[in-house]
Structures are given as C-alpha cells and as structure tokens.
Amino acid sequence: MRIAVLASGKGSNFQNLVNLSRDGILDIEIIKLITNKSNAGCINKAISSKIRYEVINDKDFKTSEEFEYQIINALSNNQIELIVLAGWMKILSERFVNSFKNRIINIHPSLLPSFKGNKAIERAFINKSLITGCSVHFVVPEVDSGELIVQAALAIKSDENIEDLKEKIHSLEHIILPQGISEAGLIIRS
Ligand code: GAR
C-alpha cells in the first residue's frame, strides 16, 4: 500500500514504519514524509532512510487554507492510498479531511475517547488514571473522534513516573500503528 506520513516530532513511529517496510514485515511503500517543522527529528530519519520528504511549515503561510493546499499539492500525483498521521500536531480542516475521506488515520497516545487533544499522556497521569494506552483511528473533522481501528491498554502503576509511562506508550504505539495500517488497508481496498 502506498502511504504518506505526516509528522511534526521526533519520528519514532515513522522510523518504525520505515523499518517494517524495509524488512518486508509490513507491505507498505512510504512514498513521502511531510513535516510542518523545519527542525523535526523525523527529517534526519527520512534522510538516513532515503525517504523523500518535504517541509511545509505552517508559519510560512498566511492562512491554514494555503498551508493545507500546499500539503494537498505535495501529495497529489503520487497515488497515495493512505495518509498516516504519526505525531502530526496540526489540526486538519474539514476541507482537508474530506478531500481524503476515510483515507487518513492517526495515532493518539490515550485510550480514546478519553484525553483527546494535546498532552494526553500527561493528563492521564495527572488525572491518576489507572489505565491508559494508545489508539489508532480514522480521522474525521472533529479532533481525535473518528472510528477506532485498534487500541492498546496498560495499567499505570502507583509508583510509575511519567517518563517511563511515555516510553511504554511509545512501545505500544510501535505495535498498534502497523496493525492499524493493515486494518485500514483492508477496509480501504474492500
Ligand atoms: C506519539 O506519541 C503520538 O501518539 C503523538 O505524538 C507522538 C509522536 O511520537 N501524537 C499526538 O499526540 C497527536 N495528537 P514520534 O514523533 O516519536 O512518532
């Protein structure tokens, strides 16, 4: 399946997908990485993995329409079947989401519908949740609200520290995002 990855951060999920694709474990071709941050860690990962990438910095555009139009342009003519948001921290407009209807998935570091939005791990931790986790879901215009594809849960131990919790959730993300891509691929191609 031909995929594009949108990421704003260090890109551990992106790197994991690159590795699984390279090793023939996940039948995907990562056509392009798009990031909105010129200093994002995912850029170096794309360079060292020889994946095409493009920096489309939202700060360079007067409006979010122009910013998103540039992303749509960068994706067009590439026969992209699925867009994967892997640590993409910009909310996408209804217009954008509808132009790739049911073909965008997102990984989120909470057990949705709990803790939508930013700093989800921190909020679950501060809230003293007993269980948290991560979710892969289809993207709809309402933030972190689309149909769930796969989730993973873990207990937050009473003596857990936030850094350990983040690491555990990232490890789970590296398991469920590939699963979510496979599931989404089956749905998209059915
Ligand atoms: C991941 O934990 C992902 O769930 C989160 O950003 C991190 C990116 O890590 N996404 C969101 O919070 C989206 N709302 P990575 O850059 O190492 O893949």
CA–centroid distance, 5 to ligand 1, in Å, is 12
Residues of the chain with pLDDT under 50: none
What's the pLDDT at 142? Answer: 97
pLDDT score for 141:
97
Going by C-alpha positions, the residue among 50, 4, 49 that lies closest to residue 30 is 4
Query: 99-115: per-residue pLDDT in tens?
Result: 999 999 999 999 999 99
In angstroms, the CA 131 to CA 121 distance is: 11
174 is catalytic: no
What pLDDT does residue 167 have?
98
Hey, which of 170, 175, 181 would you mutate to test ligand 1's pocket, going by the most ligand atoms within 8 Å of its Cβ? 170
Looking up tokens 């057990």 gives 111
Residue-level pLDDT at 25: 97
Q: What is the pLDDT of residue 159?
A: 94
**pTM tops 0.75:** yes
| CB of 109 closer than 6 angstroms to any ligand 1 atom | yes
Q: Which of 86, 121, 116 is nearest to 104 (CA)?
A: 86
Single-letter residue type at 130:
L
pLDDT recorded at residue 35? 98
86 Cα distance to chain centroid: 2
CA separation for the pair 136, 138 (Å, rounded): 7
Q: What is the distance of C-alpha 99 from the center of its chain?
A: 18
Is the CB of residue 103 less than 8 Å from the CB of residue 181?
A: no
pLDDT in the model for residue 44:
98
76: nearest Cα among 10, 155, 4: 4
173 lines ligand 1 (CB under 6 A): yes
